[in-house]
Structure formats: structure tokens, C-alpha cells
Amino acid sequence: MSLRRLLGAATAVVILGGFAPAPATAAPALPAGGTRVPAAPSAQDPATLDPAALWKGTPDGFASLPGHGLPGTTGGQAGKIVTATTIAQLQEFASAPEPLVIFIDGSLHAAQYVKIPVAANKSFIGAGAGAEVVNAGFKLINVSNVIFRNFTVRDSYIPGDWDGKRPDNDRDGIQLDTSHHVWVDHMKFERMGDGLIDTRKDSDFLTYSWNVFADNNKALGVGWSANAVTRMTIHHNWIRNTTQRNFSLDNTAAAHVYNNYLQDIGQYGMMGRNAAKVVLEGNYFTAVQDPIVAKDPGTEVVNRDNIFNSTRGRKDNVGSAFDPAAFYPYQEDDAARIPDLVSAGAGPRTNNAAQTTAEITVALDGTGDFGSLQAAIGSIPAGNTQPRTITVKPGTYREVVNVWADRPNLTIQGATANPADVVITYDTPSNGAKFFGGTWGAVGSATMTISATDTTVRNLTVENAYDEAANGNSQALAVRSVADRVVFDGTRFLGNQDTYLADTAGRDATARTYLKNCYIEGDVDFLYGRGTAVFDRCTIHSVDRGSDTNNGYIVAPSTKNSNPYGFLITNSTLTSDAAPGTVSLGRPWFASSDPDAHPMAVIRDSVLGNHIAVQGWADMGGHVWTEGRFAEYRNTGPGAFINEFHPQLSDADAARFTKEAFLGGWTPAGLR
């Protein structure tokens, strides 16, 4: 079969053509500053974009420049063309001493993970749609002049090792050690065991352009060296549903990062470390915590023309770094158009079809579609309107889970009726230190965060396993729900302080959550927040703190004064092994002394154990409990006191404070 039939005529020309060496002139020395290149409008409208127009015959950026004895990056252009249809063939061609253009034809699976050694002067090119390398990666050790284009590297993830800490887990997509002149272009990397690309040990003259990096904890690390040597260009990449190293740029002599799209990032975005010099311009960040971080005193990060959407935290701008225009010409696209432009053009050619599967399975034993719940969520297209269901098979999944705001209409369910069979666990405390400064805070501590409307979670356990006894008291959330119309059905929440936060996207936003047949345990303020939450037929268990007088508080609402509905606990059971009379029903939380707060909670038609205090409600932070809107109605059990400390609703008022009233016209499945 001819290459033109494999690729299509236009693609064959653009991928193979024009690999002419750059003129052999000396690379310029690093300048202290220069004239910045202004942003320019994109040449194409993404709505009518021809992806072929975004393919270049030769590399741009630092990979195009002469240095270390090479005129530029040409890959295997000087050699013959071969085609690999198996992993064994790919290994043979990759290690060959002569230059080669290696076409990858079809899906190449490794039975056991292998990191393929790559010799110098190679081009690896996907032969049309569907070209991929599965359960394998590439290793470049002291080599040069290598090109990767137009295929996918995926799925070396070790189920359960989300942190990548197992000693046998060094399963990168590409690892570079002391290598130079490498161009990675229009590739896709997803669900690898360790990093998607690890750029290490003084590698130099690199360009990473128009790639997709997705569904992984660690995305893109640069460094592992005490020397500030690496020069690299990072442009028009789509980094999505990742957690850290997006990129992490350590001791780069010059890192030019422009027109990238960072979407749905779990931890931090772009970071400069140690003596790194970084120019970040025209990038678009959405749903990213700490989008730009200059970690160390010697780090210089220029932050200009970037757009931040639904982000919070650091947006550092420190020092002058360098002037990219002193090295090579380039055109910066308007940052406002980057989401459309990059999502349309990044990744392999004709290999970005939307995932339409409605039923997705996650399993630790290899029998599912994915080994990680977060990876399964990432497989759902942003802006999804189709109902999707992720079924999680039994096991303990140590990972932080985000249901991103742009992935609504999702159900996550355990595969059995017993929620103890599926456990999602992590152990971040609110007061835990970020390695780049500050603490995670309550929001950053959550094991699971629900930011998408119409999400349902059922028949599984979510736990924050932070050990208070060993490490001291701290907020440590199991679950934070932010979106409107969220359902938890038959779900267990395990924690201590602040187990569940019913939050909203802003002080004026509405977020209704319906919790049915759930089990929730904690000790201090473990049901709290400004959202509207109905706890129906739940077991709410106060953990014994070992005190003879105070074993904590159940609710701590911070309802806005204009919202008549905060927390409703109904038809539920309040239990504890704590000493009798030592647990308060709750207290009013005026977050940051919020003048617009008027905390509200009703507990009705429920069974209250003997752990409930005679004085049912407590003061908080200088605010007396009577400043809150607290009431009870028709409760039973030894903790169901009727006195001046347990205000009761009248029958007429009780008719106004029902499940239906709290949910405000929304009727979730199972409401009765």
C-alpha cells in the first residue's frame, strides 16, 4: 500500500515534505530582554478550520535552530522509509543506527509495558487515523534529531497507582535524557503510568506543538538537573483533565510557552522552578487552580496576554526572563480564540472524534474501559449533553476525583448495591502545605468535587482518610458539591472535620443537592456550606472524639439571607458512640464574617440519639446560635428535646419546610 493511500495525498505531502535543514548559523546567546512580539489575530476561523493548514513541513521554535553540531531538526529524512505494524518491528526500527522514517500503521499493543530505546535521526509518523502505541513509551538517552508526529501514545496506567509511586512505575509516554533537537507535533498522550512526557537532564532545542495531553495525574515535567540549559518552545497544545506538571519547568534557560489551552486541571497549571526563565503568553486557562506559579526566588516568569476563566490562586508575573523574538520569528494568536483553535487542530489528524459511548466501566483488574475514575470522566467530551453512566467495579481507588463543570448529565455508580464495595479515597488536609507555598485549603482538600449540573453519585464510598489522631486536627473534605441538581443516592461519606461541603459557585448562585439513603460520618461541622441540601432517609453519624463534654457539631450552614432554604434533615437517624449529651446539632457559620449570611437548618421527622446535647445548638466565631435560622419538628428519640434550646416549628410552618419546598420545583429521581 502506498504512503499516499495510507495518509491521503495532502497529509503525506505535509508530513513528509519540506524537512530541509535550517541554515548552519550559530544559535544566539540568551538575551536579558528584548522587543516583545504582539498578539495577532488567527489566520483561520476555527469554525471553518482546515486542520491540514496547521501542519508544517518543518519544525518551528527552538527545535528549528542550529546548535550542538546540528543545523536543526530533520529526523530521519536522510534515510529510508519503513513501516511498523507490531511493537517488535517498532523496537527494531527505533534502535537502528541509520536514519529512518518510521511509519506506525494501526494499533501497536505491547503485552507488557516497554519503554522503547530510540537512536538518533528518526522520524516516527502515524500512518493515518487510528495509528497508536498502546502500553509502551519511548526513551531517548543522549540522542538527537528525533521527530514524533500524528499518532497516539496511551494506556500504560497501573490501576490503583494514581500517584505513580510504585517502584516499577516509570511508564512515561516519552522520556528524554540529555537529548537535543526533538520535535513532538500533533500527537496525543493519555493515561500513562507516570508522566506523559518527561524532559530531563539538560535536554535542549525542543519544540512541542499542537499536541493533546489528557487524562493523567502527571502531565509534562522538565528538569531533573541543576543546570539551567534547556531551551524549548511549547505552543498550541491542549492540556486537559490532568493534575500536576502542566508544565513544570525546572531550570529552563528559555521556555517559550504560548497559545496553549489548559482545561480542567486538578492542581496547578504552568510552573517555573529554581532558575527557570519562562515566557507565558496568549495561553487560555479554564478551571485551573494556581494557573501560573513562579516557585522559587530565582524563577523568572513573564505572564502576558493570558486569559483566566474560572480559575483561582496564583497568577505570578516575576522578572523579564528573555525575548523569544530574539531567537526565532513566530506569530501569537489571540488568546480568546485559543480554546476553539486548539481543540479543533491539536492532536493526530482525523483522530479526534468525540466519544459517544453512554456506558463506561472502571475496574482495577483490567476488565473495564479504564483503570481510573478520573480518566473515565476525562473521556467524556466537554459540553456533553448526552446522559452518561460510569460504573465502578469493586475495589479501593486512591485518587482525587473532579466532575468538571463542562461534563453534566453524568451518573457515577458502584457496580454493586453495597457502597462499601467501591471506595474512592485520598487524604489531603486543608492545612497541608503545597510544595510551592501556601496550603490546600478546605476546597483543595476534597477527595471528590462535583462541579457539573445533573450529576448523580450512587452506591459507593467517598473518603478523606486524613489521620487526625496521628497528624492533628484539620478540615479534610470527603465531598464538595458545587453544582445545581446533584444527587447522592446510597452513598457513604467518611471523614472527620468538614466531611461534606454543600457549596455554590458563588455567593449569589443556587446549588441544590438531594442526598437519599446516605451514610455520612464526621465530628466537627461535618455537614456545612451555603448550598441548599436535603438529607432524606440518611444516617448521620457523629464520630466519638473521646470527650466527656464536647464531641463536635453536626451542621454548620452559611446560607445567604435571601435564600429561605439551607439544610433540611428529614426522616433520618442521628447516631453516635459518643458520650450522652456531648454533640450539638449545629452552629451558625458566618464565613469570613459574611454580612449577607443567615444560616438556616431544619431537622424534622428524625430519630435523634442520646449523644445530642440538651442545649441543641451552639455559638460559633462570636455569633450566637440564635442568629441562625434553626428549627426542629416532630423528632423522636432520646436526643429529641423540647426546650428553649430546641426551637420547634408550628404545624403551619412545617408545611412550608418540606423536601419539595427546599428543592424548589426540581424533582429528582427517588423523591417521595
Q: Residues with catalytic annotation?
A: 498, 525
Is the torsion defined by CA of 436, 440, 443, 449 positive or negative? positive
CB atoms within 10 A of CB 651: 8
CA distance 430 to 414: 27
Residue given cell 503545597 in the structure block: 434
Contact indicator for 628, 645 with CB cutoff of 8 Å: no
Contacts of 494 by beta carbon, 8 Å cutoff, 6+ apart = 461, 462, 463, 464, 465, 478, 521
3-state secondary structure 61-114: HHHHCCECCECCCCCCCCCEEEEECCHHHHHHHHCCCCCEEEEECCEEEEEEEE
Residue given cell 444527587 in the structure block: 487
Torsion angle of alpha carbons 196, 202, 203, 208, nearest 10°? 50
The number of C-alpha atoms within 13 Å of 653 and in the hemisphere containing its C-beta is: 15
Q: Write the DSSP assignment of 260-275 as a string of letters.
A: -EEEEESS--EEEETT
CA angle 367, 413, 353 (to 5 degrees): 65
Q: Which residues pair with 216 in a beta bridge?
A: 242
Q: What are phi and psi of 601, to 5 degrees?
A: -155, 140
CA distance 92 to 504: 55
CA angle 101, 103, 107 (to 5 degrees): 155
Computed on alpha carbons and rounded to an integer, the radius of gyration of the chain in Å comes to 28
Residue given cell 494499533 in the structure block: 107
Contact indicator for 581, 552 with CB cutoff of 8 Å: no
Q: Which residues pair with 333 in a beta bridge?
A: 40
Give the residue among 338, 342, 303, 306 at the shortest CA–CA distance from 319. 303
Residue given cell 464538595 in the structure block: 480
Helix, strand, or coil here: 487? strand
Contact indicator for 450, 484 with CB cutoff of 8 Å: no
Contact indicator for 69, 193 with CB cutoff of 8 Å: no
CB atoms within 10 A of CB 547: 13
- All three cell numbers of 165, joined, read 509511586
| Integer angstrom CA distances of residue 614 from 134, 226, 324, 412, 549 | 63, 63, 69, 40, 12
